[in-house]
Structure 1
């Protein structure tokens, strides 16, 4: 069987889907399936000019919106690049971005095209203060989900909570399948270590949606309570300078190390003790699974896919979104109790090993591909 994995970002980009798809390809090749990865290079901009039409709504009523115009141009560019580069046929195409899904079905109408929707672009824009829920761009982006349902042969998403979110914008929510992300366990090697001062790590793109402002405030309170710790922040983004300034104002700059972007953070994560990310939204939250596989104690917000990964008090701690006192208390509980954080870390590792294997994803996708293939 010949499968095309149609991505948007290149595989080397950080993030759950970009890091997972190459491992999917590798594992399918082991069982003799032919699989290719396709994506739009960053340098391809404003090349496409083909007119765009949707079957379920009129996009031109949103035409004057800058975000909508950019999205439409990206569809045109993806179409241009696909026509230029893909000349062969496939048994199934698996898209990993709405633009990829729509373009592939348009250009390969007789080929089954399924899509995994990994996250919500409109939620990202909302939480990062780029748009409002009343904006034309929000209405346009949420209309895309119904368009995908109309054209494509199957929709997959990464958590039950995100399926519930999508259900507001499609006609048949029961047709959406949930497949949790899977990981190659060989990438993660827990290491026995004894840190006299607790080492806390947060790994994400530095944007408002990740709630790092809340984390810095919690760390400031933790310091006021007399606790020693080091917070390692791995990642880069538009608010890095703002976060560094906030750390200075909160008098916790000396306790924090800003690393910037790191290509293979899983090589360093096992040396830390606590993973924390107070996100304001997560469809799944791949970094929590990765931290669990590195055998760290987890602290996250009680939303989305994070709440499906963490059983509060058993394999991690959950706190409400934007709740500085609750986050401070959760971190304090782990900082002062090495035995408790080791227990939580061990439980997190066991759950991740049992539920997030790449072999489980391969078996689930294999069934979906076989059910969709047209002989």
Structure 2
């Protein structure tokens, strides 16, 4: 089987991580061609055939669509797999000229996903995303898989808190409205624990202002900025909190469970598909979030035992091998090759 993965844009985030890890691991099982911006070339293993094409320009560019079409036609894949909306829209535009089956993976909740009906296979990275996919084609959910976190290396350095005996809680993500860190800080006004927020972004000044206005937050909250040791931070924390207003797929959630660290979340995919209801609270409600945090911390000595079945589920469903094998199985179904 020959699979072509197509990635639009030139960003740095979960999408790029997904395509690189999926393609590298999939190349152990079939022929893989990746079409993407040249900047990503060195991230793929030698067994992946990389074709540079800058897809960060307008998806309506006729010259760009023609170049993409010629690349697909010249490589003759069995299936073309568009990753995310932009690549999906571009492949949908040239679908009638393609001599192969097509697949698309949608990574985030969007208002209009009608174009997915033109694909033979549509994949959502969570059940919440999959519910938005349309058409009579094959629709399925495949969770993004990751490798087990590596916590080897240098010693972990943490900021000092005035009361270091309190539980250490972690939140991770870009400092943007979607992650709900302002809601988390409001909730923290009634939480007796130390909070680390790892990540950087345009909301930093606003969050710093919120912290400066409260003696309690100044004592118990630290903004860490970007960190290269997230895995170690997750392992060190007693609890990870996801306060997002919206998510397509949370890599932090997967990494936390694979690190066997308890996690609670607002009502977003994929936490709301895996966690018991007592560890999920409404989006953008600081009172509910505060209550859930305090209730969870009140039984902190029992958390590891209570989360054991959830950790086991993550081991079986959120690792990269499961993602690859599930994807290959779906390809074979669409191609009529059986399982």
Aligned to 1:3: 3
Tell me which residue corresponds to 2:129.
162
Change (3 A) 1:96 1:256: same
Indicate how the Cα distance of structure 1 residues 72 and 18 shifts in structure 2: closer, same or farther if over 3 A, else same: closer
CA contact (8 A) 1:217 1:250 kept: no
Q: Which residue is 2:86 aligned to?
A: 99
In structure 1, C-alpha distance between the alignment counterparts of 2:298 and 2:67, rounded to whole Å = 55
- Cα offsets for 1:206-256 (capped at 9, x unmatched): 21122111100111121xxxx2x2211112222111111112123313322
Which position in structure 1 is the counterpart of 2:114? 146
Answer yes or no: is the 8 Å Cα contact 1:94–1:113 preserved in 2.
yes
Q: Secondary structure at the match of 1:221?
A: coil
Cα distance, 1:119 vs structure 2: 0.4
Equivalences for 1:157-306 in 2 at 5 Å?
A: 157-164=124-131, 166-167=132-133, 170-172=134-136, 175-185=138-148, 187=150, 196-222=165-191, 227=192, 229-251=193-215, 252-263=217-228, 265-306=230-271
Correspondence for 1:34: 31
Q: Does 1:119 align with 2:105?
A: no
Q: Give the 3-state SS of the residue equivalent to 2:105 in structure 1.
A: strand
SS in 2 for 1:185: coil
Q: Deviations over 1:155-204 (max 9, x none)?
A: 1112222222x15xx344x7321112222225478xxx9x8431111111
Distance in 1 separating the partners of 2:110 and 2:27 = 31
CA distance in 1, matches of 2:105, 2:297: 38
1:42 CA displacement? 8.2
Question: How far did residue 277 of structure 1 move?
Answer: 1.2
1:125 corresponds to which residue? none
Distance 2:3 2:298 in 1: 50
Match of 1:110 in 2: 99
> Does residue 372 in structure 1 map to residue 334 in structure 2?
yes
- C-alpha separation in 2, matches of 1:78 and 1:254: 54
| SS in structure 1 of the partner of residue 270 of structure 2 | helix
* Distance of aligned partners of 1:321 and 1:112 in 2 relative to their CA distance in 1, 3 Å threshold: same
1:259: Cα distance to partner? Answer: 2.2
Count of residue correspondences: 309
> Contact 1:101–1:113 at 8 Å: present in 2 too?
no
The 3-state SS of whatever aligns with 1:275 is: strand
Query: Which structure carries more strand by proportion?
Result: 2
Deviation, 1:266, is 2.2
CA contact (8 A) 2:102 2:121 kept: yes
CA distance in 2, matches of 1:211, 1:204: 10
Residue 73 (structure 1) aligns with: 58
| Aligned residues of 1:297 and 1:342 also touching (Cα < 8 A) | yes
1:206–1:236 CA contact under 8 A, matched in 2? yes
Normalising by structure 2, we get a TM-score of: 0.79
1:14 maps to 13
Q: Give, in angstroms, the shift of residue 323 of structure 1.
A: 1.9
Structure 1 runs not aligned, ≥5 long: 49-70, 123-141
Give the distance between the partners of 2:130 and 2:123, measured in 1 at CA.
Answer: 8
- Contact 1:162–1:305 at 8 Å: present in 2 too? no
CA distance in structure 2 between the aligned counterparts of 1:38 and 1:262, rounded to whole angstroms: 30
Q: Which residues of structure 2 form unaligned runs of 5+?
A: 41-53, 157-163
